[in-house]
Amino acid sequence: MIAWPKDVLVLALAFLLSWIITQLMIFLNIQDIPVERSSHKKITPRAGGVGLLIGFYASVIVQGFSQLPFYEDWISLILLLCSAAVMGIIGLLDDIKGTSPIFRLLIQMGTAWFLVRCLGAFQTIPLPYFGEINLGPCSLLISILWIVGFTNAFNFMDGLNGMAGLTTIISSIFLSILTYINHSDFQIHWILASATFGFLIFNFPKAKIFLGDVGSFFLGFFFSAWSLLALRPAYGKFSIWVVPLLFFIYIYDVIFTCIRRGFKGKSFLEAHCEHLYQLLSRTGWSHIKVTSIYALIFVTQGISALFMISKPPEIHLLFFVPFLMGAIPFTWWILSKARKAGVSF
C-alpha cells in the first residue's frame, strides 16, 4: 500500500506542512468566540483546517497525478479535488467574516451539481430482495442531495475536540485498505490521514485551535464526493454503501436530531447544541471521553465495511442493521442521562 521511500516522504511532507501551517493559524488567531450553544468556554483560534488543506494538496501535487495508479481517470480526480477546494474556500470565508447560510447552501449545491454532471450521478442502488434499483430521472437530484447533505452533516458533527480529526483519520485508513482490497493501490487517503494528524495534535486532547468550516466543509464534501468517484471503473469494484457505513453514526446523529427538533417545532436551520454527542458532553462527560466513544464506533464501522465489500452488493445494506439496532439504546441512554442531568433539549 505504501512504498519506501517516496511514498513515506510524501506522507511526512503532508504531516509537516499541516503542522507548520496550523501553528501559523494559531498565531494569526482568527477567533472563535464562544456563545451559549458552544461546547467550549474560552476564546480559541479557528480555521485550523487551512493547515490540513495545504498539507494535503501540496503532498498530492508532489506525489504527482502521473504517478497515481489511476492515471487513466486523472481528470475526474482533479475535478473532485478542485470542487472540494471550493468548499474549503467558502468555509474559510465563513470562518473569517461569516457568510449567509443561503449563500453557503447555494455554493454547495452549485459545486455539487457541477461535479455530478462531470462525474455522473448514482444510477442504481442495490437493495436486499430487490436487487439493483434504477434511480432514473431522480439520479441527479439524489446525488446532489447526498453530497450537500453529508457536507453539512459533517460540519454539524465537528463540535468537540478531536471529533472530526480523529474520525477522519480512522475513515481515511479504512478507505485506503478498502481501495487496496479492490486492487487499487491508491494513496490519497493516506495523505489525507497524515495531513489531518498534523492538525489533530493541536486539537486533541486539548484544543489550541479548531478545525473551522474551512476544514469541515472540505472533508464532508471530499468524503461524500469520493463515494461517487469510487464507483467509476478505474477504482475497482466499490460499493455505494461504503462511505455511508463508515460514517453511519454521524448520519444517524444528524437525522435523529433533525427529526426530534422537527417534532418539537424547532427550526432546522437554527443553530443549536442538541446533537447526541453534544448532549452527552453537556452531561459532564469530557471531550476526550465522547470523542473516544465515537472513534471506537468508527473503528467498528470500518471493520464492518471490510466484511461488507466481500459480499454481494444486494445485501450490503443489511450491514447497517446492527449499527441501527445499537444506535437505538445508545440514543435512549444519552437522552436519559441528559434528562437526569437537567440538560435542556
Which residues lie closer than 8 Å to 107 by C-beta, 6 or more apart?
A: 86, 90
Report how far residue 62's alpha carbon sits from residue 75's, in angstroms, rounded to the nearest whole number: 17
Q: Looking at per-residue confidence, does 127 or 3 come out higher?
A: 127
Answer whether residue 288 shows pLDDT above 70. Answer: yes
* DSSP 3-state of 134: strand
pLDDT tens for residues 65-75? 545 544 456 78
- Helix 287-308 vs helix 163-181: crossing angle, to nearest 10: 10
Q: Counting Cβ atoms within 10 Å, is residue 213 exposed (0-12), middle (13-18) or buried (19+)?
A: buried
Collapse the DSSP code of 32 into the 3-class scheme (helix H, G, I; strand E, B; otherwise coil) and give the result: strand
Least confident of 31-45, 49-63, 247-261, 281-295: 31-45
Average pLDDT on 188-196 reads 95
Whether the upstream peptide bond of residue 5 has omega within 30° of 0, thus cis, is yes
Check residues 2 and 45 and name the one with the higher pLDDT.
45
CB-CB contact of 82 with 109 (8 Å) = no
Q: What angle do CA 47, 56, 179 make, to 5 degrees?
A: 125
pLDDT digits (tens, 9 = 90+) for 258-282: 999 988 888 776 778 899 999 999 9
Q: How far apart are the C-alpha atoms of 301 and 253, rounded to whole Å? A: 15
Quick one: DSSP state of residue 315?
Answer: G
Q: How much is the pLDDT for 70?
A: 47
Beta bridge partners of 132: 126
Q: Which range among 39-48, 172-181, 321-330 shows the weakest confidence by mean pLDDT?
A: 39-48
* Average pLDDT over every residue of 170-187: 81
Buried b (16+ CB within 10 A) or exposed e, 327-339: beebbeebbebbe
Residue 96: what pLDDT?
93
Contact yes or no for 295/108 (Cβ under 8 A): no
249 within 8 A of 327, measured Cβ to Cβ: yes
Q: How many CB atoms lie within 10 A of CB 214?
A: 28
Instruction: Give the residue-averaged pLDDT of 176-188.
Output: 75
Main-chain dihedrals φ then ψ at residue 204, nearest 5 degrees: -150, 135
d(CA 101, CA 253): 21
Residue 235's pLDDT is 66
Whether the full predicted model's pTM is greater than 0.85, yes or no, is: yes
Q: What average pLDDT score do residues 141-154 get? A: 96
Q: How many CB atoms lie under 10 A from the CB of residue 120?
A: 16
Distance of CA 299 to the CA centre of its chain: 14
At 129, the pLDDT band (50, 70, 90 cuts) reads: confident
Check residue 66 and give its pLDDT.
Answer: 45
CA distance 215 to 116: 22
Per the structure block, which three cell numbers stand in for 47?
480555521
In this predicted structure, the answer to whether residue 233 has a pLDDT above a threshold of 90 is: no
Retrieve residue 124's grid coordinates. 442504481
Domain boundaries, the chain: 6-340
Give the total residue count for the chain.
345
Mean pLDDT of all residues in 217-245: 87
Average pLDDT over residues 4-16: 86
Tens digit of each residue's pLDDT (9 = 90 or more) over 71-95:
456 788 889 999 999 999 999 999 9
